[in-house]
């Protein structure tokens, strides 16, 4: 199903299976899993979209579209196809609830030099949203008409900007196929510019179209003053909820109340839900006692989770979505006396966190350069952790956001710039024993 794979992912899969003398077949009109599901397939979400208030967004839609159109002109593109849900939400100052933990809605957006079209389920569009889009000169189109619009634009010789790392294979292949038809009809008289962008060298000869990273990714990462203020304010309210929660948990543990990892996560949600502007958790809470804390993406479930053991380390990684921002916070605690080994490992993780927090570096330094600050104390005794140190965090958007990161993966050379928000969460994990993350 081409709609479920980015063009780059489909290309990688195609190349891999071709080595086994197998062929990748694109299915446009059916999905084999859907055919098995039939009527039992869950219905798609149908939740209302809301306008993200200017006091939180900080920049109006017209200004964002104007900046994007300047990018289009600069690259010679006629239009850009946007399929990353958080990019659509950010650009149009809209928020939804179609995806758990993320305030986004299922949609595509095409921005042309002289117009814009939002492809979305009309039943999710309220009058307020309709008026909001009209004021920004954004037209509404049915969600499932995206390929028809791609064909129409290609038939006009449009030079589309496609981020093939995120735009699905159906859109890219439909565009290329329609362009082939356009060229055969127009021959040498075609006005399309026969150039393309790729990640390797920027500009090169090849199929028509602009193929490079979406410019919205970086623009969204550079938070404006209103977004930064919202993030600060929601973190203060979130911190108050965490303080109340930890006070409750410590008292319960010292009173020998038996609590499961799920009980703890549910109680934390209860405290957060009382805070102004709370909407949802920003990801499934990781509540891990003892050995479960060593499972980096552990998820406690009723019936299989553990009881919180006062004699073991307890790791809690959680976050929340508020009307004005997004949080992600991890703490590791012990309720009695930790072992010497646990103390040393915790101290070295904390030293790494502080070292990164206090690092002074030139603007435009790539995140991978800073990663060693967080690991150096662990490295001194031969220890390390198997995940990145920091990721971008959206402003009332996805809790994991690019393009920046702080990681040992040196392939990400995105420079860190003023306005970016990046988490700082080093850790250490001993399998079947304990996990630490701060």
Q: What is the pTM of this model?
A: 0.91
Question: pLDDT value at position 94?
Answer: 98
What is the phi-psi region of residue 402: left when phi exceeds 0, alpha when psi lies from -120 to 50, beta otherwise? beta
Its CATH class, for the domain covering 46-216, is alpha beta
Question: pLDDT value at position 211?
Answer: 92
- Say if 46-216 and 225-437 have the same CATH topology: no
Q: What is 225-437's CATH number, 3.40.190.10, 3.30.470.20, 3.40.50.300, 3.90.230.10?
A: 3.90.230.10
For the chain, the domains span: 46-216, 225-437
438 residues of the chain, pLDDT tens digit each: 889 899 999 999 999 999 988 998 888 778 888 889 888 888 888 899 999 999 999 999 999 999 999 999 999 999 999 999 999 999 999 999 999 999 999 999 999 999 999 999 988 899 999 999 999 999 999 999 999 999 999 999 999 999 999 999 999 999 999 988 888 887 644 443 434 434 444 443 334 789 999 999 999 999 999 999 999 999 999 999 999 999 999 999 999 999 999 999 999 999 999 999 999 999 999 999 999 999 999 999 999 999 999 999 999 999 999 999 999 999 999 999 999 999 999 999 999 999 999 999 999 999 999 999 999 999 999 999 999 999 999 999 999 999 999 999 888 899 999 999 999 999 999 999 999 999
Question: pLDDT value at position 187?
Answer: 67
Strand partners, 326: 321
């Amino acid at each position: 199903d081409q709609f479920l794979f980015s063009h780059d992912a489909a290309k990688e899969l195609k190349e891999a299976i071709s080595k086994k003398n197998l062929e990748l077949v694109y299915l446009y009109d059916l999905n084999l899993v859907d055919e098995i599901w039939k009527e039992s397939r869950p219905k798609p979400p149908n939740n209302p979209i809301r306008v993200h208030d200017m006091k939180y967004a900080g920049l109006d839609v017209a200004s964002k579209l104007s900046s994007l159109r300047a990018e289009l002109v600069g690259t010679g593109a006629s239009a850009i196809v946007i399929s990353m849900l958080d990019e659509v939400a950010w650009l149009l100052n809209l928020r939804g609830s179609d995806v758990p933990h993320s305030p986004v809605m299922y949609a595509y957006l095409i921005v042309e030099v002289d117009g814009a079209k939002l492809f979305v389920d009309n039943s999710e569009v309220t009058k307020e949203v309709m008026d909001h889009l009209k004021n920004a000169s954004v037209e509404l189109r049915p969600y499932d008409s995206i390929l028809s619009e791609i064909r129409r634009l290609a038939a006009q010789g449009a030079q589309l900007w496609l981020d093939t790392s995120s735009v699905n294979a159906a859109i890219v292949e439909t565009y290329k196929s329609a362009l082939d038809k356009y060229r055969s009809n127009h021959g040498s008289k075609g006005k399309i510019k026969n150039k393309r962008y790729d990640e390797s060298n920027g500009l090169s000869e090849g199929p028509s179209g602009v193929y490079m990273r979406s410019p919205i990714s970086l623009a969204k990462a550079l938070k404006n003053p209103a977004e930064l203020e919202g993030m600060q304010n929601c973190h203060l309210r979130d911190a108050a909820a965490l303080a109340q929660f930890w006070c409750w948990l410590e008292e319960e543990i010292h009173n020998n109340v038996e609590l499961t990892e799920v009980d703890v996560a549910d109680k934390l949600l209860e405290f957060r839900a009382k805070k102004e502007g709370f909407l949802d958790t920003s990801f499934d809470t990781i509540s891990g006692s003892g050995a479960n804390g060593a499972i980096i993406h552990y998820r406690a479930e009723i019936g299989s989770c553990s009881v919180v053991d006062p004699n073991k380390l307890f790791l809690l990684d959680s976050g929340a979505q508020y009307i004005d921002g997004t949080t992600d916070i991890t703490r590791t605690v012990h309720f009695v006396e930790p072992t010497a080994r646990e103390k040393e490992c915790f101290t070295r993780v904390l030293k790494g966190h502080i070292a990164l927090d206090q690092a002074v570096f030139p603007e435009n330094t790539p995140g991978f350069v800073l990663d060693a600050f967080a690991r150096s104390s662990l490295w001194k005794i031969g220890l390390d952790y198997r995940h990145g140190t920091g990721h971008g965090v959206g402003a009332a958007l996805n809790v994991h956001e690019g393009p920046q990161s702080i990681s040992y993966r040196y392939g990400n050379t995105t420079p860190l710039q003023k306005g970016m928000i990046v988490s700082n969460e080093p850790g250490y994990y001993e399998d079947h024993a304990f996990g630490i993350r701060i």
